[in-house]
Structure 1
Amino acid sequence: MEQHRYLHLIELDHARMRETATRDLAAPVPSCPGWTTADLLKHVGDTFLHKVETMRRGTWPKPWPPEPDPNGPGAYLDRAMAGLRGELTSRKPEEQALTWYDPDQTVGFWARRMALETAVHRVDAELAAGEPITPIPTDLAVDGIDEILVTFLAFASRQWPEDFGAALAGADGRAVSIAAGADRLLVRLAASGVEVSRDDDPGEASISGAPQDVLLWLWRRADGAALTFDGDPELVKRLGDLLKEATR
């Protein structure tokens, strides 16, 4: 996806999140236990500004996070969005930028990451408000499935295997096939780390559904009622346990 597309989607989801969450800043967020919508907006604002400062400085900003904005979480989110907009419109996606993902040290990594961060947390705001989920565009949902499986799960399970504990140590090399619309990924769970490939192998378990439904299940924002599961349910559960650690 192009950087201008990511920025356009961030703008849309920022607006929807702000409009939804600021109606009741004390509303609990069911998908983020212990958070209110005020906490949600503060978190997204912190995340935006952290990436802005990282791109500007070329190093992780410290101390962090900033003090709460006296004008409230909605105003803080708007200020953070303005900063992110400025960085992403003034930089090319191929420009160097510090990231935690060793294979991609570019501004484009953060454009993608912030678009998916905003989409998932916009869903959180809608869940808190008890409102229908605004559809996630198919191109972003497919991209997000790739990101969470490759960038979060596969990379992290090899880079920091100690963080995954028994869920990774007990993996035996069997695979889960994930079909999101026409897109297919094979996720092989092994004690040495998770491997993700584009493979039509059915695996020992499978998950299939529309891209949005798959993405939201992977991020634990949906219970999977809209998906089709087949094969070994324990293998699917192990995948879920590993994803929980990868996105903690």
Structure 2
Amino acid sequence: MDKIGYLEWWRTEYRRLWTAVSDVDLSRPVPSCPEWNVRDLVAHLEMVMDRYVLRLRSPLPPEGQSPPSDAADPRPGLERAAAELAAALIRHDVGDVAWSWSPLPDTAWFWFRRAACEIAIHRWDAQKVEGTPEPVDRPLALAGVAEVFDSFLPAGRLMFPQAANGRIRVSVVDSAAEWLIGWDQGQYAMDAGGEPDVTVGGSASDLFLAFWGRIPMTTVDPIERLDLLNALRIR
């Protein structure tokens, strides 16, 4: 996906998110993030957007991290941060040098994709407060699934410490996309060879949400390898 594609997905997801949080009681719990209420979710997004703006500005690793806002109502701060991030995404080209924690090349492209995927997962969280959230649209969900395999897993950004051994086939049922990945004593390998020990399948949206722990992982095989399934959970 190119710059315009990611920018449009980010804008679409931000509008959906804002609709979900603009009038809701900030003390309402977020079911998909039990440690958060809506205020915490909004403050987190304000913080993350500010960080992304800084990443786009600099080819160097950050020296520190700012904490989330402690404002009673962080929604004005979210609006400010969103406007600044939108301006930064418009201003930069995907090939501009920008540090990232991913093993991918240090370019702004990483942050275009990261910004769109981050807002999508938290839009889903925000909609969950009031009822049934919309799925993530397939093109963006596919980008989010790919991000897991080319960035989060090789960078070790995992929910659970890993010592897994084995291979997983991940099949996207509403796309031709498929991955065969593996671990050897907890060491991750993309494009692993051989037969899979377990196959995980689902729509692009369901897989994206499952990797972020929002919905259960669905296996095609009758026997689940919990260690391998846990190895797909990211943070």
**Equivalent AA in structure 1 for residue 181 of structure 2:** V
Normalising by structure 1, report the TM-score: 0.84
Secondary structure of residue in 1 paired with 2:29? coil
**Equivalent AA in structure 1 for residue 220 of structure 2:** F
Over 3 Å counting, the alpha-carbon distance change for 1:42 and 1:66 in structure 2 is: closer
Over 3 Å counting, the alpha-carbon distance change for 1:54 and 1:209 in structure 2 is: closer
2:231 matched residue in structure 1: 242
**Residues 19-58 of structure 1: pairs in structure 2 closer than 5 A:** 19-22=19-22, 23-58=24-59
**Equivalent AA in structure 1 for residue 10 of structure 2:** I
Shift of 1:164: 5.4
Which has the larger displacement, 16-25 or 76-85? 16-25
Over 3 Å counting, the alpha-carbon distance change for 1:198 and 1:15 in structure 2 is: farther
Q: Tell me, in whole angstroms, the C-alpha distance in 2 between the residues paired with 1:116 and 1:198.
A: 25
1:186 aligns with 2:180: yes
Deviation per residue, 1:78-137 (Å, 9 max, x gap): 11111111111011100001111143211111000010001001001111222x222322
Shift of 1:239: 2.9
1:148 matched residue in structure 2: 148
1:108 aligns with 2:142: no
Shift of 1:196: 2.0
**Structure 1 residue ranges (4+ consecutive) displaced by more than 6 angstroms after TM superposition:** none
Residues matched between the structures, number: 231
Q: Tell me, in whole angstroms, the C-alpha distance in 2 between the residues paired with 1:202 and 1:138.
A: 27
Normalising by structure 2, report the TM-score: 0.88
Flag the structure with higher helix content.
Answer: 1
Q: Would the aligned equivalents of 1:46 and 1:65 in 2 still touch at CA under 8 Å?
A: yes
Pick from 169, 176, 182 the counterpart of residue 177 of structure 1: 169
| CA-atom RMSD in angstroms | 2.3
Secondary structure of residue in 2 paired with 1:233? coil
Which has the larger displacement, 139-148 or 53-62? 53-62
Shift of 1:231: 5.0
Over 3 Å counting, the alpha-carbon distance change for 1:207 and 1:57 in structure 2 is: closer
1:210 aligns with 2:212: no
Q: Tell me, in whole angstroms, the C-alpha distance in 2 between the residues paired with 1:90 and 1:216.
A: 30
2:12 matched residue in structure 1: 12
Shift of 1:6: 0.9
Which has the larger displacement, 78-87 or 141-150? 141-150
Q: Tell me, in whole angstroms, the C-alpha distance in 1 between the residues paired with 2:83 and 2:169.
A: 40
Deviation per residue, 1:21-69 (Å, 9 max, x gap): 2312111112112100111011011000111123224442646136445
Over 3 Å counting, the alpha-carbon distance change for 1:67 and 1:204 in structure 2 is: closer
Q: Tell me, in whole angstroms, the C-alpha distance in 2 between the residues paired with 1:210 and 1:192.
A: 27
Q: Would the aligned equivalents of 1:69 and 1:75 in 2 still touch at CA under 8 Å?
A: no
2:66 matched residue in structure 1: 64
Which has the larger displacement, 80-89 or 202-211? 202-211
Deviation per residue, 1:200-248 (Å, 9 max, x gap): x651111112111111111111124xx45315412xx21332334x41x
Secondary structure of residue in 2 paired with 1:187? strand
1:223 matched residue in structure 2: 216
